Structure 1
Amino acid sequence: MSSTLYDKDYHLWLQETVQLLQDGQLQELDIPDLIEEIQDMGKSQRKAVKSNLKVILWHLLKYKYQPEKRSNSWKSSIIKHRKRIRDAFEDSPSLKRYFNKIFDQSYQDSRELALAETGLSIETFPLEYSFTIAEILENKSL
């Protein structure tokens, strides 16, 4: 099995790929690995949005349904992850469609996390989310 520059030195492969693109030497490009990298970039952005959304929802649930344990740590985490999602939407507005697509499942996942962490009964956390998009993405709910 032959090993390509992509396999041996990823950073150098990136530098050389950029240079080939800038020089217009398209015939010299490592097309299969370049395609893979571009696809992975999109996957990475989607995973980040999903992860940040779950953290926000998780902390909002704890914040709302366990007020006696509210902490600045929860607040700062919510703010940090909101900013990450807003930045992602600013860079890639099309991610808003993905956000809407994964919202329901992300809420259910966050509900499970909140249940596990708080020890509260499952009935405490509504099956359907009760947060507006503004409460989730803006600093108005704390």
Structure 2
Amino acid sequence: MTISTKQLYELDYNLWLETTAKLLRERRLDEIDYDNLIEDLEAMVRSDKNALASNLRILLMHLLKWEYQSQKRSNRWKYTIVEHCLRINKAFKTSPSLKRYFDDIFEESYQDAFKLASVETGMAKDEFPVECPFTKDDVLNSENRFTEDD
């Protein structure tokens, strides 16, 4: 009994991936499970965008905490800022088209970040600027913002 690639998807996902790659390399296009392949490719795009949005939100939140709760600055905050800045910039190196998405979600991400910063710090929302106080370049270069005294 031969198992179709569509059935293989449900039975052994890793084997389905290997088989699909092999079929594509061999140009055996009539045997490919296009429905699941398309679904997985679209899921990968969503995953990359969700990861970018999450990293941006976390980065902006920590930049706000760093600027507006300076008496509580910590190496952990600095680490988080550098880590998420690096993640975003690495995502741009592997997928430059994500920069457009970054531009599209920047303001919305800031709105989320300042709400989260308010909750985490216990500070009122009106203690943070309504408009993002950081330029996109500031955010993308935030790993370089620290002095030896920080």
| Fold match by TM threshold 0.5 | yes
SS in 2 for 1:93: coil
How many angstroms does 1:65 deviate by? 0.2
Question: What is the distance in 2 between the residues matched to 1:121 and 1:77?
Answer: 23
Instruction: Please list every run of 5 or more consecutive structure 2 residues that lacks an aligned counterpart in the other structure.
Output: 1-5
8 Å CA contact 1:5, 1:12 repeated in 2: yes
Q: Decide which of 47, 68, 85 is 1:65's aligned counterpart.
A: 68
Does residue 74 (structure 1) correspond to residue 77 (structure 2)? The answer is yes
Aligned to 2:41: 38
SS, match of residue 114 in structure 1: helix
Does residue 101 (structure 1) correspond to residue 108 (structure 2)? The answer is no
**What TM-score, normalized by structure 1, do the two folds share?**
0.94
Which portions of structure 1, spanning 4 or more consecutive aligned residues, are displaced by more than 3 angstroms? none
Return the TM-score normalized by structure 2.
0.89
Structure 1 residue ranges without an equivalent (≥5): none
Shift of 1:141: 2.5
Per-residue displacement from partner, 1:38-88 (whole Å, max 9, x unpaired)? 111111111111000001001000000000110111111111111111111
CA–CA separation in structure 2 for the residues paired with 1:61 and 1:4: 49
- CA–CA separation in structure 1 for the residues paired with 2:123 and 2:11: 50
1:134 is the counterpart of 2:149? no
Which residue is 2:10 aligned to? 7
Bigger mean CA deviation after superposition, 127-136 or 106-115 = 127-136
SS at match of 1:4: helix
Alignment match, 1:85? 88
Return the offset for 1:129: 0.6
